[in-house]
Structure 1
Amino acid sequence: MNYEQARFNMIEQQIRPWDVLDPTVLALLAVVKREDFVPAAYRDMAFTDVELPLANGQKMLPPRVEARWMQELQIERHEKVLEIGTGSGYQAALLGHKAQQVFSVERDAQLAGAARDALRRNGVLNVTVVEGDGTKGLPAEAPFDVILLSGSVPQAPQVLLDQLKIGGRMGVIVGDEPAMTARIITRVGEREFKTEILFETVVQRLDGFDTLSHFTF
């Protein structure tokens, strides 16, 4: 299989039509090798517009959703980022190319180990994969400029919003099937948050978030 041609087709046929036009994001997608982060059995499907299966029932986000997050979050080089749900490590790799430092929390030990290996093989050295409970965030490293939840939740968890800096923003997909919306929530004050709705989608629920109490906007 010609991976470079498949990558080009993914960018031109999936990513651009989904309003991802930021040249820095498109350039990033061209150089970070998505096929290196998917399970070997699905390597030839790395560029398809689906949630690819990972170990233990988990899934990767579709490429267009990963790309759209990278555009909308507008991560800058000096920023510190928290990702909840490492999965394959691909989204973490994209974040690492944009941010100064990334912490990615994954509760599944097998996925965490595989993601660490893939990140190391691809030379992404500013991402730390933490095996743990993402519902608690990472208070020891807070506050963060950006928090990204790489899966869906019923509502934005207050415990994570509290780990944002003033002016920081959270990318989160909120709701239940078949109606989920991707949002950016910006912390504009100590207890004040501003929500922007971006697009509709349906993605896998993040483990552990269904039983939490939530903050309602």
Structure 2
Amino acid sequence: MADTALQRKNMVESQVRPSDVTDRRITAAMSTIPREVFIPDRLAKFAYSDETLGIGPNAVMLPPSTLARLVQLADIDPGDNALVIGGGAGYAAAIVARLAKTVVALLPDSNAASEAADACRKAGVDNVTAAAGDLAGGWTAHAPYAAIVVEGGVESVPDVLKEQLGQGGRLVAIEVERGLGHAFILQKTGQLLMRRDAFQATAPLLHGFESPKPVFVF
């Protein structure tokens, strides 16, 4: 059996730290949380590879280096209530849970939510609530959120999701267009959402986050 503790250490030292991830809470979380319990057995050999993993329909795990940078961009504080959208089977939520007070992991269906809850328990993470629903609709039951992390590609962010940000809240995601992309952050100040582009990255487009199509009237 592979030494997963060593694999986690190598992942952090060779993939995460060289990607300008300086938040020690993130590197500590990634050094201790077993990534392999969050993925199907068929993908076990890729658990610590720096690549995007397709977990299921509308569910991906970003490369560790990309996820770490995205979480760092969200600037999560220990008292924050956070929402993690997508995230395969809960790994991203488990990482965020080591930074925030409470986390909702929103998955696309009840099976994925159940698997995420089980994986979090196995990993010793007890402050994540796994929920199933429309990813683009967010999860209003626990809103407002200080941080929303979208693990996957977006062309646009639905208004209903923006409305779930609290004052000073941050939403981070990866905008994609024609196969290219970059991470960005939206921060709520008053009634305004200020946007800042951060770093180049790409991710599969999540269903529900497509750009609105123009309506033609004949």
- How high is the TM-score relative to the length of structure 1? 0.91
Q: Corresponding residue for 1:99? A: 100
What residue is the counterpart of 1:145 in the other structure? 146
- CA deviation vs aligned residue, 1:159-186 (integer Å, no higher than 9, x gap): 2111111111101111323221101110
Q: What is the CA–CA distance in structure 2 between the aligned matches of 1:183 and 1:13, rounded to whole Å? A: 24
In the alignment, the residues of structure 2 paired with residue 206 and residue 12 of structure 1 have an alpha-carbon distance, to the nearest angstrom, of 29
- Displacement of 1:56: 3.7
Kindly state the Cα deviation for residue 57 of structure 1 after the two structures are TM-superposed: 6.5
Alignment check: 8 A CA contact 1:85 1:104 kept:
yes
Question: Which deviations, in whole Å up to 9, do the C-alpha atoms of 1:78-123 show, x marking residues without a partner?
Answer: 1101111142210010111111111121123332221111012122
Alignment match, 1:200:
200
Look up the match of 1:82.
Answer: 83
1: distance between equivalents of 2:61 and 2:174? 14
CA contact (8 A) 1:86 1:129 kept: no
- 1:72 equivalent in structure 2: 73
Comparing 151-160 and 91-100, the one that deviates more = 151-160
Three-state SS of the structure 2 residue aligned to 1:119 is: helix
CA–CA distance in 2 between the matches of 1:45 and 1:198? 27
Q: Is 2:112 aligned against 1:111?
A: yes
Query: Which residue in 1 is equivalent to 2:156?
Result: 155
Deviation at 1:139, TM superposition (A): 2.0
Quote the residue 1:15 is aligned against: 16
For the Cα contact (< 8 Å) 1:103–1:128, is it kept in 2?
Answer: yes
Distance 1:57 1:194 in 2: 28
TM-score using structure 2 length = 0.90
Q: Partners of 2:177 and 2:111 in 1: how far apart?
A: 27
Superimposed CA distance per residue, residues 6-61 of structure 1 (whole angstroms, 9 cap, x where no aligned partner): 21111111111111122222111111111111211222221101112313463211
Note the aligned Cα RMSD (angstroms). 1.7
Give the partner amino acid of 1:126. Answer: N
Residue 39 (structure 2) aligns with: 38
Which piece of structure 1 moves more, 52-61 or 13-22?
A: 52-61
| Equivalent residue number for residue 180 of structure 2 | 179
Which blocks of at least 5 consecutive residues in structure 1 are unaligned?
A: none
Q: Distance in 2 between matches of 1:109 and 1:208?
A: 18
Whole-angstrom CA distance in 2 between matches of 1:10 and 1:59: 18
The sequence identity of aligned pairs, in percent, is 34
Residues 5 and 140 from structure 1, CA distance in 2 versus in 1: closer, same or farther, beyond 3 angstroms? closer
